Amino acid sequence: MVVEDAGQTRNVFFEKMVYGGEGLARTEDGVLLVPLVLPGESATVELEERYKGVRRGRLLQLVQPSSDRIAPECPYFARCGGCHYQHVGYERQLEIKQQILGECFERIGKYRLEVPINVLSAGPWHYRNRTRFQIEKDASRFEIGYFELLSHRLCPIEVCPVISPAINEVLRKFSPVVAALFPDGKAEVELFASDSDQEMLATVYSDQTAAPDFGNALRNAIPSIQSVCWVRDSPATKPEEGTIWGSGAIAYHVGEFHYRVGHGSFFQANRFLLKQLISVVAGDLEGKTALDLYAGVGLFTIPLARRFDNVAAVESDRASARDLISNVGPVSARAYELTAEKFLATASRDWEVVVADPPRAGLSKIVTEHLCRLRPRRVVYVSCDPATLARDVAALARGGYGVCSVSLVDQFPQTFHVESVVHMSRL
């Protein structure tokens, strides 16, 4: 719905940050959300249209900047949409995310935490082992980068301070030689680097057909790329159905644990925090039976298999399930290529511990109901969205569970994303 005063300017005061990387100001017309601001700042903003009941604005000028404001590290910040918090120091970023997570429990879940929110963090730069670039090419240009903030316009870049050095090196090598391999039009290329940052996968998504020797030519031009997959980008096409040149996967090591990760498989993106994430999830857990839902390639399954006599891992995505089956082969765990809903529908009450790492949408109502029916003594919820986490924790609390601990694991510094781990015990 278009509001009559869209395009007008207002002077507003921002009282806090909300999930999504925006500052919240209260006006006579209601709540206004604006990116690139900080709590305690006053600014002149341009009002935008109200969309789905939410009004947003665009920062025009700071009237009273916050003392927390700093100069961003990246020359593309505020234009590129990849980062949201580079204008504030890292310690303050963590405080903001901690406040947002706690508020989501109270406002969305109507659940008051009785335990503190622990914070785990590592280096705030060059942490990403995976990124997805946008490509545009025509007869006169080849550009690669990310989408601009809140748009689908390309922001060409030459370097990115949050991706690993090896991925930055590949970005630098997308020279006219590599550019010539791509057809005209738009495409996306996802790069995933190994733990050593020496080997990587490249997955290209395009609505066009690849040249017959595209993958071999790209691997010859950039030797760190071990495997290339070209996916005709349509709703029905999956990476494992694309054309592959190379091994189709790389090995990723996290301490003593080794994982096969192929094209299209999910794997956590912060290369500095994987050990800590496994530790905070597995914690002091041990016993006879454990169930790993939304298991991906088995990041938590393999450590759990060292601690439990009987472990089952459930994953519905075909690419991830393929790697999961390969990864659990050497350990005492069983893998199931099923949805969590289908697996739980016939599950018995034999599981002592359930680990769940669902996608951003969180647990479905059916999964929550099954967990309350199965009544494991411990539920460990790994979340990438504090809003759905708060909703689901509240539902589990109504089903007889209490929160033992909450950990904010800052997987995505410089961005608004909040990764967290909640341990719940049956009351």
For residues 95 and 283, the model is more confident at: 95
Task: Record the tokens describing residue 79, joined without a space.
Answer: 């234009």
**Which among 72, 414, 36 is positioned nearest to 45, based on CA atoms?**
36
One-letter amino acid at 325 equals I
Question: What pLDDT digit, counting tens, does each position of 165-188 carry?
Answer: 999 999 999 887 899 999 999 999
Reading phi first (left if > 0) and then psi (alpha if -120 to 50, else beta), residue 386 is in: alpha
Looking at CATH, the fold of the domain delimited by 94-124+270-426 is given as Rossmann fold (3.40.50)
Measured CA to CA, the distance from residue 197 to residue 193 in angstroms comes to: 5
CA dist 196 to 199, 254, 271, 357, Å? 7, 10, 9, 25
**What value does the mean pLDDT take over residues 203-222?**
95
Domains 94-124+270-426 and 130-253 share a fold: no
Cβ atoms of 210 and 228 closer than 8 Å: no
Determine the pLDDT at residue 4.
56
In this structure, are strands 42-51 and 130-138 parallel, antiparallel, or unpaired? Answer: unpaired
Q: Name the residue among 322, 329, 317, 394 with its Cα closest to residue 357.
A: 317
Mean pLDDT over residues 377-385, rounded? Answer: 98
Half-sphere exposure of 226 (CA within 13 A, CB side): 17
Token pair for residue 360?
């951003």
How confident is the model over 105-139, as pLDDT tens digits?
999 999 999 999 999 999 999 999 999 999 999 98
What value does the mean pLDDT take over residues 215-222?
Answer: 96
Q: For the chain, which residues make up each domain, given as ranges? A: 9-69, 94-124+270-426, 130-253
Q: What is the Cα–Cα distance from 85 to 36, expressed in whole angstroms? A: 7
Rounded (5°) CA angle 376-269-38: 100
> Rounded to whole angstroms, what are the CA distances from 185 to 169, 214, 242, 410?
24, 16, 19, 36
pLDDT band at residue 229 using 50, 70 and 90 as cut-offs: very high
Query: Residue range 405-419: average pLDDT?
Result: 98
Interval 238-261: pLDDT, tens? 777 789 999 999 999 999 999 999
How does pLDDT run across 295-322, given as a tens digit for each residue?
Answer: 999 999 999 999 999 999 999 999 999 9
pLDDT score for 2: 45
Answer yes or no: CATH 1.10.287.610 is held by domain 130-253. Answer: no
> Catalytic: which of 160, 337, 384, 404?
384
218: left (phi over 0), alpha (psi -120 to 50) or beta: alpha
The residue-averaged pLDDT of 6-27 equals: 95
Q: C-alpha angle 374/378/380, rounded to 5°?
A: 105
DSSP 270: B
Topology at the third CATH level for domain 9-69? OB fold (Dihydrolipoamide Acetyltransferase, E2P) (2.40.50)
pLDDT of the residue at 296: 98
Q: Which residues contact 360 (CB under 8 A, 6 or more apart)?
A: 384, 385, 388
pLDDT at 303: 97
Q: Please state, rounded to an integer, the average pLDDT across all residues of the chain.
A: 95
Residue 295 tokens, joined: 């298991």
Question: pLDDT > 90: what percent of the chain?
Answer: 89
User: What's the whole-number mean pLDDT along residues 14-38?
Assistant: 95
As a whole number of angstroms, the distance between CA 243 and CA 231 comes to 7
Active site residue 419: yes
CA angle 379, 380, 385 (to 5 degrees): 120
| Known catalytic residue at 188 | no
- Measured in residues, the chain has a length of 427
pLDDT at 162: 98
Dihedral (Cα; 44, 50, 56, 59), 10-degree rounding:
-40
- For position 1, what pLDDT does the model report? 39
Query: Distance (Å, rounded) from C-alpha 281 to C-alpha 275?
Result: 10
- The answer to whether the predicted template modeling score (pTM) of the entire model surpasses 0.85 is yes
